[in-house]
A and B are shown apart, each in its own frame.
Chain A
Amino acid sequence: MAFPGPILLKRIPAEPGGRHLHRYDDYVATGGYESLKKALAMPPADIVKLVVDSGLRGRGGAGFPCGSKWTFLPKDIHPRYLAVNFDESEPGTFKDRYLIDYDPHILLEGIAIAAYANSITTSYIYIRGEYHREAQILEEALAEAYSHGIFGQKHAGTEFTHNCYVHRGAGAYICGEETGLLESLEGKRGWPRIKPPFPAIAGAFAKPTIINNVETLACVVPIVEHGAAWFKAMGTPSSSGPKLFGISGHVNAPGVYEEELGIKMSTLIEKYGGGVKGKFKAAIPGGISMGILATNQYDAELDFDIGKKYGVLGLGTAGVIVMNDQTSLPRILRNIVRFFSHESCGQCTPCREGTSWMHKILNRIVAGRGKPHDLDMLLELSQTMGAMPGTTICGLADGANWAVKTFLQKFPDDFKAVVKSPLVAGVSVPMAVTVSGAAAAPAGV
């Protein structure tokens, strides 16, 4: 099935300006809260099954199947909590902000359906501290929802009652990691927790907790409305449904656009992003922690299988950052690693020290004082830390690593060019050492 047109963004005009915030009445007038009514008439287990059947995968970055996450909740432990992850802190990602800026009720409806489906009586929307405008929009929307009986009181004909709260973060990237988020929600320092126990067993306040991304919950609304088969018809077999893509960087029309999963990056950039400014050189598929796509990977399909196919970590948040041939990749990488070094929570030794070390090396390289063996050091460091080799608790270090690894493997010449021999001051000498693993990098499709 071809993509039928905006689904999550259907209420938002292509040029929304500042005046198209959908209040409760606008939302209801355009068919809002119909899915909730429909859901409340269904047994909760059927809704969970519907979401499982739809193949909806988490939109927050990891792409974990949303339905199976819901089925992990132990049957007999109450209360349970729903934590909505609106700590959208990944550079290059702004899709959730866009959605909430104009249509906050779609999230609230998704929350109400998810809560009903999982017998949850309390949910928290964890919103990043910098999103003060969105926090205000959500508070207002929440007040409307409360006054119209969506939250806070029993729905007619059911025992279902639900309370929802907006919790503002204090501006830390790590609080977007799900257990870091829970710690922060509990009023503690946002240090990711060791697992097990997983949040589904002992999450917020040591009770079973589901943590879902804003867009994931918004997707639940059309799934209930149109059914699982309709949702599954979009996208690819393993990545179904529509997806919000945020395009930024060297494109003519940056912004948030909705398309089905599996769309080619080139199509996305040209059809929606207005084409590349200048000549395409590289792109980050979804937030800076995912690594980089090489020049010959311009046609990469943006779906959850992108990681295996194109040698990046994954689709991430689908915040595509496009770079043209005037871009200095060492500077970009320095900036990326600076971010991870600054945002490392400092709990695990390898990430705390390793990201800062890589940042210092890259600082030196960018300042023209790089040495050939610095690149090998960077590669070695990027392979020793992270949740994937098991040396850190959470995946923050993996983000830094994949950036370093893929930048060095896919664009070795850019780095060799700036690394000068320490023996010949001021003269750029091609690097003598090989960047190990460079040959193993996928050549693209």
Chain B
Amino acid sequence: MPTMEVDGQMVSWEGKKTILQACNDANVPIPHYCYHAGLSIVASCRICLVEMESPDPKDPAKMVKLPKLTPSCQTPAVDRMKVTSKSPKAVANQKAVMEFLLINHPLDCPVCDQAGECYLQDYSFNYGRAESRFEEDKIKNPKKDIGLHVLLYSDRCILCTRCVRFTREISGSGELAVFGRGAREEIDVFPGKTVDNPLSANVIDICPVGALLDKDFLFSQRVWFLKSAASISPISSGGENIFIHHNHGRIYRIKPRFNADVNKWWISDEARYTWQFVHENRLHACHRMQYGSFVETSWERAYAQTTEDLQKAVRDNGPGSTAAVLSPFASTEEMFLHAKFARSIDPQAWLAVTPPRIDGQDQVFKNPATGAVTFTIRAEKAPNRRGAEKITAHFGGNACALEELAEKIKNKKVMAVLASADPLPGMDKPVLAAIGAAPTLIALTSRHTGLYEKAGLSMPTCTWAEKAGVYENCDGRIQAFQQAIDPLENCRSDGRIFWDLLAHEGTHSAAAVRHEMAAAGLADYANVAIPQVEKPLEVMEFSAL
């Protein structure tokens, strides 16, 4: 494996890499603004310049030192190279670039959303100088509303052009461009256009400073208060990897989490902004129908009634008269317990899966220059259909589609249904139409939905943010997600409910269920990698200043 020395540390890499790429992979810090691993290299911010010595191609024993600074983002790493980003020349350049970037930058960190996760702040601290020597008038560029989700504060912009390259190379829509020239230059949209592609908000993430801001998150929280949980987007079957940023039991935003095989550095706007349902219209108590109206009831009574109602249906109508409706929004562990519980009461219980909503066709994004596929938004709008199918297949026996189940309910073959509801608003209409007429309907639902209205008994459950588990995406990739916030008041996850109903010992946890699944023959779940939370920002040692 080729190896080079960077600031006294040995860095190894495989394949063709530039110096900066090899250093990034090895966690050796070299400052950079315009470089982004997912975008083309422009080498224009000039803060990543290093001094380097490399072996002479004619006489490999001899080292040749380049007389001038070299952009590390652009220069290929070569075996036995010696790179320094801490030589007086390199440090002088870092200080100079920081000073240049800040001369027209407003000093509005106290009211800037980016503060706390801003490269200008971090690099000012690590590489900059303490005071400004700029005595002239600053150039004051305007603030602009440039899209559905995106605000542009062009006075804060450092013109790294990451956003421009994103719209050209990833979303392929090319709405953004650099206008003007020299110090008067600005990022802007073309006249009459807005940044409204389905991946638009990614430009906010890749902006290293506070120039592109999220309207949804604007002024809502200082980022240093936010906690991060590694999760999987529940919005589509792509299984986009995300971070949920939350504080005090409330979600504030969703950010993409890098996964080279799934979503790379990006997520769709849909995955980013569909989380309000976690905090809206939630149920906080078990309800049962009594003399035509809903009354609140305790978890103990709800559990008892669930078992009693199902047992009664089996007693009265024989085996095969109950059904379990699995939601493709539940984690695979929850579905396993759900099916297990249904079969423990009625060995011939029917298993059905709510079909996910299909939204047109998959949206495929390509780089217009190369034709390479850069991102796909899946048309199937549920995270875990494949998991549900796997569980249904695992248990075997009576299984049917939701329409068939509706038929059976109509013909009085199935008398009691235990259904887990989809959490997204407006998604429960087909389920409701199919099973709403069941004489005994027990619903596990997080929201005031149609299913809740029809159910004789309903229990308040958790959304994906309040629990851990695994989803299986459309490509059969099993991905675990962490719990971000505590279950809202009095809510319990489907998994916890079935754990209790099955009278399992110990405390419920997704890992324990996976262990049980593996023991039951679902070998895929024996060792699921648990994602880690974001690394905290690295603070360089003081000696490096």
Q: Interface on A for B, CB 8 Å cutoff?
A: 172, 189, 194, 341-350, 352-357, 360-361, 364, 377, 384-385, 388-393
Contact = CB atoms under 8 A, between A and B. Distances in A.
B182 A390 contact: no
Given A354-B100, A360-B136, A345 B182 contact: yes
A350 B42 CA distance: 15
A390 B69 contact: yes
Contact of B101 (A194, A349, A361): A349
B279 interface: no
Q: Could you say which interface size class chain B belongs to?
A: 35 or more
B43 interface: yes
Interface string B47-74: 1010000000000000000101111001
B183 interface: yes
A377 B136 CA distance: 13
A356 B96 CA distance: 14
Given A349-B101, A361-B136, A391-B93, 20 more contacts: A341-B183, A344-B182, A346-B184, A347-B42, A347-B44, A348-B46, A349-B47, A350-B100, A352-B182, A353-B100, A353-B101, A356-B139, A356-B182, A357-B136, A360-B137, A361-B135, A377-B133, A390-B68, A391-B46, A391-B69
Given A357-B136, A391-B69, A384 B183 contact: no
Interface string B133-176: 11111010000000000000000001100000000000000000
B97 interface: yes
B178 A346 contact: yes
Q: Which 4 A-B pairs have the closest CB atoms?
A: A390-B68, A356-B183, A390-B69, A353-B100
Contact of A352 (B42, B71, B136, B183): B183
Given A349-B100, A350-B97, A361-B136, A355 B46 contact: no
Secondary structure type dominating chain B contacts: loop
A389 B46 contact: no
A349 B158 contact: yes
B248 interface: no
A396 to B, nearest CB: 10
Nearest to B139: A356
Nearest to B95: A384
Nearest to B164: A189
Contact of B181 (A194, A344, A357, A385): A344
9 contacts: A194-B42, A346-B185, A349-B47, A349-B97, A350-B46, A353-B103, A356-B183, A357-B136, A393-B44
Nearest to A386: B68
Contacts of A355: 182-183
B104 interface: yes
A349 B44 contact: yes
B10 to A, nearest CB: 25
B68 A346 contact: no
B533 interface: no
Contacts of A393: 43-44
Nearest to A344: B182
B78 interface: no
A343 B185 CA distance: 11
Contacts of B70: 390
Contacts of A194: 41-43, 71, 74
Contacts of B135: 361, 364
Contacts of A392: 46
B92 interface: yes
Given A352-B159, A388-B68, A172 B181 contact: yes
B501 interface: no
Contacts of A350: 46, 96-97, 100
A346 B69 contact: no
A344 B182 CA distance: 5
Contacts of B49: 390-391
B47 to A, nearest CB: 7
Given A344-B181, A346-B180, A364-B136, A389 B100 contact: no
A355 B183 CA distance: 8
A350 B101 CA distance: 8
A423 to B, nearest CB: 15
B181 A346 contact: yes
Q: Which of A355, A356, A364 has the most CB of B within 10 A?
A: A356
Q: Which of A349, A360, A389 has the most CB of B within 10 A?
A: A349
Contacts of B183: 341, 344, 346, 352-353, 355-356
Nearest to B42: A194
Nearest to A345: B181
Nearest to B43: A194
Interface string B177-211: 11011111100000000000000000000000000
A360 B184 CA distance: 13
Contacts of A357: 100, 103, 134, 136
B505 to A, nearest CB: 63
B96 A352 contact: no
